[in-house]
C-alpha cells in the first residue's frame, strides 16, 4: 500500500473516532508499527494530528485533553503500581470520591479485585461501567451532568452541585499537570471544577500522579498543592518539591523507587 493511501485511511479513522492506536493501525493496514509511527510523525508535521505515546488524536478546538482511550495505555504499569499502594489507605465502609482520570480507573479496578465494600462516588462513566460489569460489592453513586466523550466523564455545574450533597472520607484525584507556582491544573474548566469540588467535599485528599505530570502547566489552575494530604508518584522528586511537601504537611509516597 502506498504511503498516501495509508495516511488517507488514518485520516478517515481519526475523523470517525477522534483517535488512533499504533497496534490497531498496524494490523488494519498490514504494515509494521514503525511504518505507522513514521506516518503519524509526518502527519503531525503537516498539522493533521497530535501524536502521543501509543497513538495519535485529532486536536479539538479549545481543548487539549487526551482522549480517554489513549490515556488508558499511557504509563499503564505505573498507574497500576500507584493504585496498589493507594488502596492500602482505603477501608471497608469508607465513602470515597474518584475523579475521571485513568489512574483512578486503575484504583477502581484494584478496589474490585480486593472485594472491598465501600461507597464510591464518581463522575467517570468508565468507572461506573466497570463497577456494573464486575458486579462488585460497591455502593455506587454516579454524579451526572453533561457528558464529555473525550474523557468519558460527566462534568458541568450540575456535576459540581451533585458532589455538594456528600462529605466523603477520602478523595483520590489526578490532574494533567502540576507546578509549585500554580498548583494543580487541568485542560477543561468543567473537569477542573469537578476535581476542585471533590477536594472540598472530602476529609482526606490524595493526589495520584506519575512523573510526567510535574513541572508543566495546563491552562486552568484549579487548586494549590497544599490542599492535598498525600501525594503518590513513581519517581523521586526534586529537593524543592520535597521541601514544599514537608512545609505543607503533605506525605509523599513513592512507587517504583
The answer to whether residue 116 sits within a structural domain is: yes
Question: CATH number, domain at 53?
Answer: 1.10.10.10
pLDDT at 17: 77
The domain in which residue 106 lies consists of: 76-254
pLDDT at 63: 58
Residues near 160 by Cβ (< 8 Å), separated by ≥ 6? 145, 193, 194, 197
Q: 63 and 145 in contact (C-beta within 8 Å)?
A: no
Rounded distance between C-alpha atoms, residue 224 and residue 228, angstroms: 8
CA distances from 64 to 58, 81, 159, 220, 225 (A): 10, 26, 21, 11, 22
How many domains is the chain partitioned into structurally? 2
> In this structure, are 107 and 55 located in the same domain?
no
pLDDT at 97: 98
Residue bearing cell 520535597: 242
**Burial group, residue 8, by CB count within 10 angstroms (0-12, 13-18, 19+):** exposed
Q: pLDDT by residue for the chain (257 residues), tens digit each?
A: 788 888 888 888 887 777 788 888 888 888 998 899 898 888 888 888 778 777 887 766 555 556 666 666 666 888 999 999 999 999 999 999 999 999 999 999 999 999 999 999 999 999 999 999 887 789 999 999 999 887 889 999 999 999 999 999 999 999 989 999 999 999 889 999 999 999 999 999 999 999 888 887 668 999 999 999 999 999 999 999 999 999 999 999 999 75
The answer to whether residue 176 sits within a structural domain is: yes
> In this structure, are 101 and 213 located in the same domain?
yes
Q: At 65, is the secondary structure helix, strand, or coil?
A: coil
> In this structure, are 47 and 162 located in the same domain?
no
The answer to whether residue 69 sits within a structural domain is: no
Q: 175 and 219 in contact (C-beta within 8 Å)?
A: no
Q: In 3D, which of 55, 18, 11, 16 has the Cα closest to residue 151?
A: 18
pLDDT at 71: 63
> In this structure, are 54 and 110 located in the same domain?
no
> In this structure, are 143 and 237 located in the same domain?
yes
Amino acid at each position: 500500500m502506498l504511503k498516501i493511501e495509508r495516511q488517507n485511511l488514518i485520516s478517515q479513522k481519526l475523523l470517525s473516532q477522534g483517535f488512533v492506536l499504533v497496534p490497531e493501525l498496524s494490523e488494519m493496514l498490514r504494515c509494521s508499527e514503525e511504518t505507522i509511527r513514521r506516518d503519524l510523525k509526518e502527519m503531525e508535521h503537516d498539522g493533521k494530528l497530535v501524536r502521543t505515546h501509543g497513538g495519535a488524536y485529532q486536536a479539538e478546538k479549545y481543548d487539549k485533553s487526551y482522549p480517554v482511550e489513549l490515556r488508558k495505555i499511557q504509563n499503564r504499569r505505573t498507574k497500576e503500581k500507584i493504585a496498589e499502594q493507594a488502596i492500602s489507605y482505603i477501608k471497608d465502609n469508607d465513602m470515597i470520591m474518584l475523579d475521571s482520570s485513568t489512574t483512578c480507573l486503575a484504583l477502581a479496578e484494584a478496589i474490585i479485585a480486593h472485594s472491598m465494600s465501600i461507597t464510591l462516588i464518581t463522575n467517570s462513566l468508565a468507572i461506573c461501567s466497570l463497577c456494573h460489569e464486575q458486579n462488585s460489592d460497591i455502593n455506587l453513586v454516579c454524579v451526572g451532568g453533561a457528558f464529555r466523550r473525550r474523557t468519558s466523564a460527566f462534568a458541568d455545574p450540575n456535576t459540581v452541585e451533585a458532589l455538594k450533597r456528600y462529605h466523603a472520607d477520602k478523595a483520590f484525584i489526578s490532574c494533567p499537570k502540576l507546578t509549585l507556582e500554580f498548583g494543580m491544573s487541568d485542560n477543561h474548566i468543567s473537569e477542573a471544577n469537578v476535581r476542585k469540588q471533590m477536594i472540598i467535599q472530602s476529609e482526606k485528599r490524595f493526589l495520584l500522579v506519575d512523573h510526567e505530570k510535574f513541572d508543566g502547566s495546563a491552562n486552568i489552575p484549579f487548586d494549590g498543592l497544599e490542599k492535598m494530604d498525600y501525594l503518590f508518584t513513581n519517581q523521586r522528586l526534586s529537593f524543592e518539591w520535597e521541601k514544599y511537601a514537608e512545609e505543607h504537611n503533605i506525605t509523599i509516597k513513592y512507587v517504583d523507587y
